Copies of this chain bind each other. A is one copy, B any other.
Amino acid sequence: MARTGTAREKILAATLKLVREKGFTATTVDDLCTAAGVTKGAFFHHFASKEALGVAAAEHWSATTSAFFAAAPYHRVDDPMERLLAYIQFRRDILRGELAEFTCLVGTMVQEVYAEHPAIGAACNASISGHATTLEPDIAEAMRKRGWTPDGSMTGWSAASLALHTQAVLQGAFILAKCSGGPAIAEESVDHLSRYIRMLFGAPPAEPAA
């Protein structure tokens, strides 16, 4: 059982590495078996198909990144807006190393698979929107501290929409990082996001968007 579990983990780890390097379709089962050091038989013992692997990889990504972010230091900041900004600074701080190390598995996969493999697309969506949901309580608390309702009825933007926007900026920043070959432009986009959030909470409630 332990060996079986280890093989599954090795295949998932190889998937996270290779898909972030060259995408889901370009990563073949043979590539994964070689990288994980497992046989094709072992692969198909654990995953009925490459699509099933894609779903499992997105779920594994969700589980490991959830644990990683749950343990991150930004949660210890007292003020909810400052806690959100500390989260964003943390995201900026981890834009390090190789592109395949700091970019997002599920943001990469969904680009290719959303139409052809809806099950993988749904798992990618669950990962990104699930992570966004972890930010909503802090945003809602920061809004309530200013006398604003988190549903956006007073501001024209809701806690949920700002949480998703942070993920849009990060995903777009990863694309610019891949375009430019490094994190510098991505860091500047993350700085724009921090500046936006600081202004948003520093200013009085704006008119609802037209």
Contact = CB atoms under 8 A, between A and B. Distances in A.
Interface of A: 21-26, 99-100, 107-108, 110-116, 121, 124-125, 128-129, 156-157, 161-162, 164-165, 167-173, 175-176, 178-181, 185-186, 188-189, 191-192, 194-196, 199-200, 203, 206, 209
A29 to B, nearest CB: 14
Given A170-B172, A191-B157, A206-B195, A23 B112 contact: yes
Nearest to A22: B116
Contacts of A189: 161, 164-165, 168-169
Nearest to A125: B179
B179 A129 contact: yes
A114 to B, nearest CB: 4
B22 A23 contact: no
Chain A binding surface, main DSSP class: helix
A179 B203 CA distance: 32
Given A157-B191, A171-B175, A111 B164 contact: no
A31 to B, nearest CB: 12
Contacts of A157: 188, 191-192, 195
A130 B209 CA distance: 30
Contacts of A172: 167-173, 175
A102 to B, nearest CB: 13
Contacts of A191: 156-157, 161, 209
Nearest to A209: B191
Given A115-B100, A172-B169, A192-B196, A178 B23 contact: no
